Amino acid sequence: MAVTFPDHPNLIGGYAPLQIESDTASLRIEGEIPRDLNGSFYRNGPNPQFAPRGDYHWFGGDGMIHAFHVENGKVSHLNRWARTIKWNLENEANESLFTIFNSTQNDPRVAGVTTNGVANTNIVWHGGKLLALVESNAPFELDPISLESKGSWGFDDKLQGPMTAHPKIDPETGEMLFFGYNAGGTISEKMSFHVVDKEGNLTRSEFFDAPYAAMVHDFIATKDHVIFPIMPLTGSMGRAMRGAPVYAWEPEKGSYIGIMPRSGTAEDIRWFKGDPAYVFHFMNAHTDGDTVICDVCEYDEAPFFPHADGSKPNPLKSRAKLKRWTFDLNGTTDDYIVEILDDSISEFPRLDDRFAGLKYRHGYFACNTISDPVSRGYNALAHIDHYTGAIKRYEMPSEFSSSEPVFVPKKSSAAEGEGYLIANVYDATIDTSHLMILDAENIEQGPIGKAMLEHRVPFGFHGNWRPL
């Protein structure tokens, strides 16, 4: 039975939930799929099973994973919901039972039920496991081929607290680094830091107190340091108990950036202070002597969430730009330098992951070249050369929107940036999506090949590549 969803901005158009799970053995190809591109491209994003209980927030939809299996110039596709505790209970009840941020507003039938999240934000391959991630819970494991749900994975029950949706994998050691916020319970200042070896074993855990309780979506690491951004999208149980937003913008608290030596402990974190701003995603960072350099997509004001007084965010300030933070570890002050690298509205920054945490040259991101695209998404992909500052773009019509670009090297020994960019593209004129493949060194020339779907892939968050 078809589900009727309310007329909410994040439930219509490219955001509209897909109400089917499908399998397509061979997608129609336009152009050519490179023969040296063999593996699986996964995408994850919110896809609510039922109309929301109360108001809807994009971050709260049930996770749906899309898998494009690519081999010998052919592409197959399947999509599956992550069958979490929430998904199963609601499927049985045939309606929504849970709210996203405030459990006091859940249906009484699930009062006291502990869920394992919505598994809707990212998906990574590490230690022989395919893990769907959401920052409020432990990872959720799926089969890499069939996408069958296997359930929560807590690293042999060693993980305490939640795991970020944005772990970092060290290209030299194969270790996966991650953190968790609200590590002391719902809306707490306590944070955690963890290290998992290349085989998937949790080997290190640290806990520390942030300057205040905040939503910390992403972090970044270099070969020598770990960087934690505490920015004033704050959490407040007091607000929640008053029926006010649990998370809200409080710029008066300012920004705190904690830098910890990877060879040290949480006691060695040094806190730098900056103007109020917000970062959902980092491109990369590296350490150069006594200097730490971070490339980020920074907002003047956090989008999607109200101010603490209930007022809406300023849309002109809730647009990210690609910026660079520079920290002097030998300096006598606690400030840092911020400079703009590109003036376009930008998000979803990526790199050649073989250079994660290292000095690097090539970065990629989604951006807008028009002020109000018909698709309501990002109409362009960009490549920045950090050595020269040059930026190349592939621009699409206003009716098209691209997902986050994911870089895949042509081969393991390829030079940095020698490979392909892969993304999902939504076409609002026909309400369908396709897989797009670009030459990462010449993105302005447009797609090498496309694999065409007969339905949309709803606007989501993140994806990654698993090579064969």
For residues 102 and 182, which has the higher predicted lDDT (pLDDT)?
Answer: 182
Q: 104 pLDDT exceeds 90? A: no
Q: Are 409 and 418 in contact (CB under 8 A)?
A: yes
As a whole number of angstroms, the distance between CA 279 and CA 297 comes to 6
Taking the C-alpha atoms of residue 178 and residue 169, their distance in angstroms, rounded to an integer, is 9
The count of other CB atoms within 10 Å of the CB of residue 39 is 16
Residue from 428, 340, 327 nearest 379 by CA: 428
**pLDDT tens-digit profile of 346-374?**
999 999 999 999 999 999 999 999 888 88
**pLDDT recorded at residue 249:** 97
Q: What is the mean pLDDT of residues 120-133?
A: 98
Instruction: Output the pLDDT for position 372.
Output: 83
- In single-letter form, the type of residue at position 234 comes to T
Q: What is the pLDDT of residue 102?
A: 76
pLDDT at residue 373, as a whole number: 85
pLDDT value for 105 = 86
Distance CA 303, CA 415 (A): 37
Give the model's pLDDT for residue 295: 98
- 195-235, pLDDT tens digit by residue? 999 999 999 999 999 999 999 999 999 999 999 999 999 99
**3-class SS of residue 194:** strand
Domain limits, the chain: 128-467
pLDDT of residue 245: 86
> Is pLDDT of 186 > 90?
no
Percent of the chain exceeding pLDDT 70 equals 100
Task: Name the pLDDT band for 85 (thresholds 50, 70, 90).
Answer: very high
The residue type of 146 is S
Whether the per-residue pLDDT at 1 is higher than 60: the answer is: no
pLDDT at residue 265 greater than cutoff 80:
yes
Return the bridge partners of 196, or none: 176, 202
Rounded to an integer, what distance in angstroms lies between the CA atom of residue 175 and that of residue 168? 8
Higher pLDDT, 99 or 146: 146
Q: Could you identify the residue written with the tokens 């941020």? A: 101
Structure tokens at 145: 């081929």
Q: Flag the least confident range among 1-5, 10-14, 85-89, 148-152.
A: 1-5
The Cα–Cα gap between 124 and 259 comes to: 25
Q: Mean pLDDT of all residues in the chain?
A: 96
Measured between alpha carbons, how far is 32 from 37 in angstroms, rounded to an integer?
Answer: 11
Average pLDDT over residues 85-101: 94
pLDDT of residue 413: 96
Give the CATH architecture of domain 128-467: 6 Propeller (2.120)
The Cα 117–Cα 98 span in angstroms is 11
pLDDT value of residue 362: 98
User: Does the global pTM surpass 0.75?
Assistant: yes
Is 382's pLDDT higher than 70?
A: yes
Is residue 39 within 8 Å of 413, Cβ to Cβ? Answer: no
Phi-psi region of 260 (alpha: psi -120 to 50; beta: other; left: phi over 0): beta
The string of pLDDT tens digits covering residues 293-338 is: 999 999 999 999 999 988 998 988 999 999 999 999 999 999 999 9
What's residue 55's pLDDT? 86
Model confidence at 2: pLDDT above 80 = no
Residue that is written with structure tokens 């694999």 in the block: 451
At 462 the pLDDT is 98
